[in-house]
């Protein structure tokens, strides 16, 4: 048996132990991505093999948050891919405006920057007061930071301001922030419209009906069967005529082919659920 084959067995055993002990199922995540992350994590912990970490995974409760942080990779920024936010502003929000109340599910929110970007968009289009954003993730430490809404000023850089302008921003980022001691905190008005909550896309079900789901650059880490499972979850959560926004490298495949969704902006990966069953 080759070293690579042994390593593959270790990855499976580690993920199976994680699933059985803590209920987090990463077995259907992209194998290459998961293997790369786990080996990097083992190296950072000074371990020469994944098998050596299994006893700690089983018996040390403090170990779990470190594992989830390494596996969920909370990478995000304000107005990431601003052309997507501009498309939402121009093509989606005018439709959502017709609803008396607006519910948005932002899945895989990481440390919250995208959720706050959506809140700013809603504010500038006059929709924030009747909107609720449900921002979810499996990473509790990332969620805690997101709920605080406090970020080092340097992370809200000129690139962030540029993204805001390219997204059609009508004011200035500073309008939504309070600054103190090198940190910036989002306004209470924005924070009050976002509920940050733990939700596992793999194991948990629909928690409410929503008018839009935003889940960008999460599905690329799943294998095909898990992608279809999660897309079914999003479809079940959406009202008829609701919107789904994915990452630029993510596809609806059969869900679009069978008429459940149609493209609103193919390039920006924005889709709309069918108004009625086909």
pLDDT of 220-267, one tens digit each?
878 788 889 999 999 999 999 999 999 988 888 767 657 789 999 999
DSSP for 208-253, written as a single string: S-EEEEEE-SSGGGB-HHHHHHHHHHHHHHEEEEEEEEE-TT---T
Q: Which listed CATH number (3.40.50.150, 3.40.50.880, 3.40.50.300, 3.30.70.80) goes with 82-273?
A: 3.40.50.150
**141 pLDDT tier (thresholds 50, 70, 90):** confident
Cα gap 184→146, rounded to integer Å: 13
DSSP state of 198: E
pLDDT for residue 116 is more than 90: yes
Task: Kindly report which listed range (18-27, 172-181, 266-275) carries the lowest average pLDDT score.
Answer: 18-27
pLDDT of residue 257: 57
Half-sphere exposure of 117 (CA within 13 A, CB side): 30
3-state class (DSSP) for residue 77: coil
Q: What are the φ/ψ torsions at residue 112 (nearest 5 degrees)?
A: 100, -5
Give me 209's structure tokens: 């009906």
pLDDT at 277 over 70: no
Residue 214's DSSP bridge partners are 106, 245
pLDDT band at 194 (very low <50, low <70, confident <90, very high): very high
E strand intervals along 23-80: none
Q: How far apart are CA 120 and CA 127, in angstroms?
A: 10
- Two tokens, residue 135: 């921002």
**Helix/strand/coil percent split, the chain, to 5:** 50, 20, 30
Band (73; pLDDT cuts 50, 70, 90) = low
Binned at pLDDT 50, 70 and 90, residue 99 comes out as very high
More confident residue, 175 or 33: 175
Q: Mean pLDDT in the chain?
A: 90
Write down the pTM of the prediction: 0.85
Report domain extents, the chain.
3-72, 82-273
């Amino acid at each position: 048996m080759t070293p690579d084959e042994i390593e593959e067995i270790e990855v499976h055993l580690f993920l199976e132990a994680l699933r059985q002990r803590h209920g987090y199922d990463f077995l259907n995540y992209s194998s290459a991505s998961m293997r790369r992350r786990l080996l990097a994590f083992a190296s950072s912990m000074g371990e020469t093999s994944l098998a050596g970490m299994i006893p700690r995974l089983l018996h040390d409760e403090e170990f779990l948050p470190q594992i989830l942080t390494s596996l969920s990779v909370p990478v995000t920024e304000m107005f990431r891919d601003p052309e997507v936010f501009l498309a939402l502003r121009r093509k989606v929000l005018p439709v959502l405006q017709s609803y008396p109340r607006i519910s948005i599910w932002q899945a895989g929110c990481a440390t919250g920057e995208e959720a706050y970007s959506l809140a700013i968009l809603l504010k500038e289009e006059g929709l924030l007061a009747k909107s609720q954003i449900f921002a979810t993730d499996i990473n509790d430490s990332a969620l805690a930071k997101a709920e605080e809404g406090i970020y080092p000023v340097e992370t809200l850089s000129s690139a962030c301001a540029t993204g805001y302008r390219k997204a059609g921003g009508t004011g200035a980022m500073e309008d939504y922030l309070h600054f103190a001691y090198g940190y910036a905190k989002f306004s209470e008005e924005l924070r009050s419209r976002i509920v940050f909550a733990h939700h596992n896309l793999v194991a948990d079900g629909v928690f409410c009906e929503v008018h839009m789901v935003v889940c960008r650059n999460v599905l690329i880490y799943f294998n095909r069967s898990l992608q279809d499972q999660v897309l079914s979850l999003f479809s079940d959560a959406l009202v008829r005529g609701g919107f789904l926004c994915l990452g630029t490298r993510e596809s609806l495949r059969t869900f679009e082919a069978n008429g459940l969704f149609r493209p609103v902006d193919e390039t920006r990966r924005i889709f709309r659920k069918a108004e009625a069953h086909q």
